[in-house]
Each structure stands twice: as structure tokens, then as C-alpha cells.
Amino acid sequence: MLIPQLILSLVFLVGGLLMAKYPPKKINPLYGYRTRRSMQSPEAWKYAQRISSRRMVMCGLLGILLFIIGWVAEWSEGIQGLLLIVSLAVFIVYLFVSVESSLKRKFPDLVN
């Protein structure tokens, strides 16, 4: 059950690294951190791509750390499954809440 935790963490890590190295240059409907607020101006778009990629990398590294701890501690499958669900939810909520609040502070004139 730890393998899904590792895969999830690697998706966040690799996704964040790819977005950092190859951020979408223009606002688009397919690739990047796309929310109503981030898509309102080119400046907000560029800023959102930069900070969301950093936070994705951080979540990926934290997930790998949790994987290592679970592997060393030999947690039961029930605890591993709970860890996977909770960490995914926390990573997603943290990513959106932190990026959106950063956008709101940096670009207070943008509407939600």
C-alpha cells in the first residue's frame, strides 16, 4: 500500500519540477495552475505558475518523506491507506489555498 503513496509523491514532485522548468508562457485552458484568479492577467498567471510549482515540489518531497517513514516503521495497510488519502487531500487543499491567498495578497484588485 505504500507504493501508491510513492507514486502520488512522485507525481507532485515531477509535475512541480516540469512546471518550474517549462512554465506555460500564456494563459491557456490545458496546462498550468488554472483558476479564475490566476487567469485574470498575464502577471497573475506567471506568478501563480511559479509559486504553485514550488509548492508542488514541496508536497512531493514531503510525500516521499512520509513514504520512507511508513516503510521504515512498517505501518499496517490500514494506516498506509489512511495516510495516502489524508496526504492527497492535504496536498491539494494546501496547494490551492496557499496559491490563491498569495494571489489575493499580491494582486488585490483581481476578483474571484
Q: Tell whether the model's pLDDT for residue 36 goes beyond 80.
A: yes
Entry pTM: 0.90
What secondary structure does DSSP assign to 18-69, as a single string? HHHHS--SS--SSSS---TTTTS-HHHHHHHHHHHHHHHHHHHHHHHHHHHH
Confidence label for 80 from pLDDT (cuts 50, 70 and 90)? confident
User: Average pLDDT of the chain?
Assistant: 93
Name the residue with higher pLDDT: 91 or 70: 91
Residue ranges of domains in the chain: 2-106
For position 49, what pLDDT does the model report? 97
Confidence label for 8 from pLDDT (cuts 50, 70 and 90)? very high
